[in-house]
């Protein structure tokens, strides 16, 4: 029987029986509908792609574990998974404290600890290593402003003069550096809180 004519249930059964191509056909069948739903909720293509992938990872894992309930329709079940992952995304982002840098702000004020223990030193060391690794993904301009601000302790006025750009451009680069670091943190599923 032609794959296009197979029902969702037939493809699910084929996948459970070991036909790995069957899940690909189901993904292709519903990818536009599911992705459109996700993007309409999160309004960010990178986040939507991540949630879309997570949705089908969860679908595959649930099918392999034999926990799929055949009473409902496959697409309704998959949409419910996507919906739950969107809700989880918003719960996570609601917990993220928004930090807006300015001349009076120092990131080390936020992450300071009164009496560091060996465990907190290890956590802090890992967080800084993860953060340094994420910074390497930033554009040269964003990395430059971030390093001048946090590592050299320069004001945005000094950064602007040093880079021969306006203060607004320096602030904008810092803003995008922080936004991109948050996206990278989510993408790599890193916990950067101390």
Taken in order of first residue, the domains within the chain and their CATH numbers are 3-95 (1.10.1740.10), 107-187 (1.10.10.10)
Q: What is the mean pLDDT of the chain?
A: 82
Evaluate whether 99 touches 38 at the Cβ level (below 8 Å): no
Distance separating alpha carbons of residues 186 and 191, to the nearest angstrom? 9
Distance separating alpha carbons of residues 155 and 36, to the nearest angstrom? 43
- pLDDT of 17-31, one tens digit each? 999 899 999 999 999
- pLDDT of 82-119, one tens digit each? 998 988 888 887 765 555 556 565 555 555 555 555 65
pTM for this entry: 0.49
> In the structure encoding, which two tokens stand for residue 69, read together?
């309930």
Residue of higher predicted confidence among 172 and 94: 172
Residue 176 backbone phi and psi in degrees, to 5: -70, -30
Distance separating alpha carbons of residues 92 and 60, to the nearest angstrom? 24
Evaluate whether 12 touches 68 at the Cβ level (below 8 Å): yes
């Amino acid at each position: 029987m032609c794959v296009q004519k197979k029902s969702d249930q037939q493809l699910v059964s084929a996948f459970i029986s070991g036909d790995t191509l069957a899940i690909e056909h189901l993904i292709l069948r519903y990818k536009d509908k599911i992705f459109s739903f996700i993007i309409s909720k999160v309004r960010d293509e990178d986040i939507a792609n991540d949630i879309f992938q997570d949705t089908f990872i969860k679908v595959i894992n649930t099918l392999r574990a034999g926990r799929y309930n055949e009473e409902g329709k496959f697409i309704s079940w998959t949409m419910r998974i996507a919906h739950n992952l969107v809700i989880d995304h918003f719960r996570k982002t609601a917990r993220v404290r928004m930090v807006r840098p300015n001349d009076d702000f120092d990131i080390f004020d936020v992450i300071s600890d009164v009496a560091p223990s060996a465990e907190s030193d290890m956590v802090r060391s890992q967080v800084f290593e993860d953060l340094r690794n994420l910074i390497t993904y930033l554009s040269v301009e964003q990395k430059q402003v971030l390093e001048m601000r946090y590592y050299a302790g320069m004001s945005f006025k000094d950064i602007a003069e040093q880079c021969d750009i306006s203060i607004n451009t320096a602030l904008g680069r810092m803003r995008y550096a922080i936004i991109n670091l948050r996206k990278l943190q989510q993408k790599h599923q890193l916990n950067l809180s101390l």
